[in-house]
A = this chain, B = another copy of it.
């Protein structure tokens, strides 16, 4: 299900870093000028991305990769995450990787159970 494409190597290393709640290591794979199109809108720059990722890592209990593929520049992953408010919170990310850093991410998850948990 996985190969060793350059983009996928970076995506998997990034995934493993946040899965183990190592935010600094996760951010080491994020380009300074990252653009991320997430469900709530566009996130630009590593500082904004960190502010987006940090609360997720804080509520994370575990994650399990469902599938991961890639080629030279692009990786596509889907995983299931267990979080404090939402027991099953799957996500999918399609990332563009340049020189070992994620420069673009299309990020997808279902916001509905998080919104429900907040109410």
Which residue numbers of A lie inside 8 Å of B, CB to CB? Answer: 1, 39, 66-71, 74, 76-78, 90-92, 94, 106, 108-112, 115
Task: State how many copies of this chain the complex holds.
Answer: 2
B111 touching A109, Cβ below 8 Å: no
Whether the pair B69, A39 counts as a contact (CB closer than 8 A) is no
What are 23 A-B contacts defined by CB distance under 8 Å?
Answer: A1-B71, A39-B110, A39-B112, A66-B94, A66-B106, A67-B74, A67-B76, A67-B94, A69-B70, A76-B76, A78-B106, A91-B108, A92-B92, A92-B108, A108-B108, A108-B110, A110-B110, A110-B111, A110-B112, A111-B111, A111-B112, A112-B112, A112-B115
Q: How far is the CA of A77 from the CA of B67 in the complex (A)?
A: 10
